[in-house]
Amino acid sequence: MNHMDTRRGFTVLELIVAIGVFLIVVTVAVGGLVRALRTIRETAEILSANSNASLALEQMSREMRTGYDFCIPANPCASEGEIIFRNARKDLVTYYLQEETIERSCVPGTSTGCEGTYAITAANIRIRHLSFKRFGADPGDGYQPRITIAVGASGKGAGIENIIVNLQTTVSPRLPLDS
């Protein structure tokens, strides 16, 4: 009996088409994965900038809550981008924007824990703007002082440098009993 070989294989053309379709699917999948990883990284950097700016805002607010003599003739503020006041330990404290970081400067009053000048924001974020608006607190006006702090921060990574997280809070300092 003469049997013809009934086994069939793929032609070269069928293999080329299958490999081409496979490469297209893999390219699309890898592109989507790369885009997803970039988005995750950018989101993490934005969250980090938000967290760090919030922490700096909280640190300033906490110290201002027990502060007094905000931007008075004895402690004049040069601009709305800085604030000068006395903290609870009677140290002269200044918060200001310096080359995309928020810095705290301290001149000792009655305490010895004053630490000079240092940045209170991390190196991986940019502070785009910082402003302090003071309401009340003029000597003898009888109004409780309020300071509104506004901060704009962004990450330093590529693709997110133009995404700015804006935060704002208002602090109502307690008036000192012995001032």
Other C-beta atoms closer than 10 Å to the C-beta of 176 total 13
Residue length, the chain?
179
Q: Is 100 left (phi over 0), alpha (psi -120 to 50) or beta?
A: left
68: which 2 tokens?
């007094």
Residue 161 has what pLDDT? 76
Q: How confident is the model at residue 57 (pLDDT cuts 50, 70, 90)?
A: very high
**SS3 of 70, please?**
coil
**SS3 of 96, please?**
strand
81: which 2 tokens?
């981008």
Say whether pLDDT at 179 is over 60.
no
Q: How confident is the model at residue 56 (pLDDT cuts 50, 70, 90)?
A: very high
Question: How far apart are the C-alpha atoms of 155 and 5, rounded to whole Å?
Answer: 68
Start-end of H helices in 66-132: none
Residues 21-37, mean pLDDT to the nearest whole number: 92
- Indicate the pTM of the whole model: 0.75
Question: How far apart are the C-alpha atoms of 106 and 87, rounded to whole Å?
Answer: 10
